[in-house]
Structures are given as C-alpha cells and as structure tokens.
Amino acid sequence: MENKGKLVVFSGPSGVGKGTIMKKLLQADEKIALSVSATTRKRREGEEHGVHYFYITKEEFEQKIRNNEMLEYTSYNGNFYGTIQSHVEELLDNGKTVMLEIEVDGAAQIKKKFPDAMSVFVTAPSVEEIERRLRFRNTEDDEAIKNRIAIAKNEMTHANEYDYIVCNDDVDAAANKILEIIK
Ligand code: 5GP
C-alpha cells in the first residue's frame, strides 16, 4: 500500500475511554483522522452511519471479506468488526495520520501487514475501574457487559505487544501523551 500518511493502531479494553481520547486527538490536530470501521453490531443511540461505523449486515460483511476489501477484521462479542482498505488508503493518500481504533486481534493483523505502523495501547488504572465505566455507560444489557469485562481482562494481557502503553487516569494527560508519541 503506497501512501504518504502514517498508520497508528489504537487499542484498549472496552470502557477504557478510547472514544473520549480519540475526540481530543481529532480536535488537537487536523492531520489526524479516524478510520471508520464496518460492523455488524447494532447502532447505539446517538451513533451515526458513516461517522461512528458503517453498519452493515452479516451477509454484506462476509461479501466484503470474500472480495478482499478488509484490511483486517475480527469477531468480537458476537459481531464482526473490520477496517475497510479503500477507506484507509484514501485517508493515507491525503497525508493523514490514520488512527485505527481496533481490538487486539485486528491490531496483530495490522502489525503483521504493516510492521512500520505505530501501536498504542490504552489501559485503565484497574479492571474494577473498567467495570465501573462500562456499567456507568449503560449502553448494553448485563450479559453483554459481563462479556465485555471478560474480553477486557484478556485484552489487558496483550498490552505488552504494543509499542506504547498509556494509562488513562486523566483524559487530557493521556491524549497529550499520545499526541507526543505520534509527533
Ligand atoms: P464497540 O462495540 O464498543 O464500538 O467496539 C468493540 C471493540 O471493537 C472495540 O475494542 C473496538 O476497538 C473494536 N473495533 C472497532 N472497529 C474495529 C475494526 O475495524 N477492527 C477490529 N479488529 N476491531 C474493531
């Protein structure tokens, strides 16, 4: 993939505050762009098609896999999530620093394909804190939350596979650290 921009993989357990940090990064530097992924999960209230995700059906997702349109993809909590290659290429061609906010399995696929991609893992001060944040967000039923907590615990064990680990005990400090890393 020929390009001018930089690829940055951005992971961290669900509930760690990646969304809030991401917003700050986008506000801080106009060169930073967030890759919009495709997913088969249901749209949450307040989310928009084409902004938060491209919400597609399982059949559409499987078709994209067969057509080799996905740069990486995974199944997470019963749904498909994946990065659309053409979308990322377009952003890179425009000289953007493209953030892929993806989970650990997808991150490993990207690192394999693009060894030069930089990777950042965001952690919370503790697993209890993640659980508290997920329950506070109140966007999923109890079973989905329990599942996300179990996945989060597993994801934390992959933190050392990333180039940088940033603890989100303060959102502004975490965002500033990531901006420094990117620069
Ligand atoms: P959520 O349902 O909370 O929006 O996302 C669940 C998880 O899927 C998060 O850890 C998020 O980073 C990850 N995710 C979102 N988009 C992608 C993607 O395109 N590929 C992969 N591998 N993971 C993704």
121 in contact with ligand 1, CB cutoff 6 A? no
- Place 99 in a pLDDT band, splitting at 50, 70 and 90: very high
What was the pLDDT predicted at 2?
52
CA-to-CA distance for 118 and 102, rounded, in angstroms? 13
Task: Write out pLDDT tens, residues 150-183.
Answer: 888 899 999 999 999 999 999 999 999 999 999 8
Neighbouring C-beta atoms of residue 155, cutoff 10 Å: 22
Ligand 1, atom 7, lies closest to the CA of 103
CA-to-CA distance for 131 and 114, rounded, in angstroms? 33
Tokens describing residue 49: 């098609």
Task: Write out pLDDT tens, residues 5-33.
Answer: 999 999 999 888 999 999 999 999 999 99
CA-to-CA distance for 13 and 151, rounded, in angstroms? 7
What was the pLDDT predicted at 125?
86
What was the pLDDT predicted at 170?
94
Task: Write out pLDDT tens, residues 111-150.
Answer: 999 999 999 999 988 888 888 888 887 777 888 888 888 8
37 in contact with ligand 1, CB cutoff 6 A? yes
Ligand 1, atom 19, lies closest to the CA of 82
Ligand 1, atom 22, lies closest to the CA of 106
Asked whether 16 and 101 are in contact (CB, 8 A), the reply is no
- Place 1 in a pLDDT band, splitting at 50, 70 and 90: low
pTM attached to this predicted model? 0.90
What was the pLDDT predicted at 136?
82
Residue 72 pLDDT greater than 60, yes or no: yes
14 in contact with ligand 1, CB cutoff 6 A? yes
Residue with tokens 């659980």, as numbered in its chain: 131
**Could you tell me the distance, in angstroms and rounded to a whole number, from the CA of residue 180 to the centre of ligand 1?**
24
Task: Write out pLDDT tens, residues 44-62.
Answer: 999 999 999 999 999 999 9
Ligand 1 pocket test: pick from 81, 86, 156 the residue with the most ligand atoms within 8 Å of its Cβ. Answer: 81
What atom of ligand 1 comes closest to residue 11's alpha carbon? 12
**Could you tell me the distance, in angstroms and rounded to a whole number, from the CA of residue 77 to the centre of ligand 1?**
10
Residue 3 pLDDT greater than 90, yes or no: no
Residue with the bigger pLDDT between 105 and 140: it is 105
106 in contact with ligand 1, CB cutoff 6 A? yes
CA-to-CA distance for 81 and 43, rounded, in angstroms? 13
131 in contact with ligand 1, CB cutoff 6 A? no
Asked whether 130 and 13 are in contact (CB, 8 A), the reply is yes
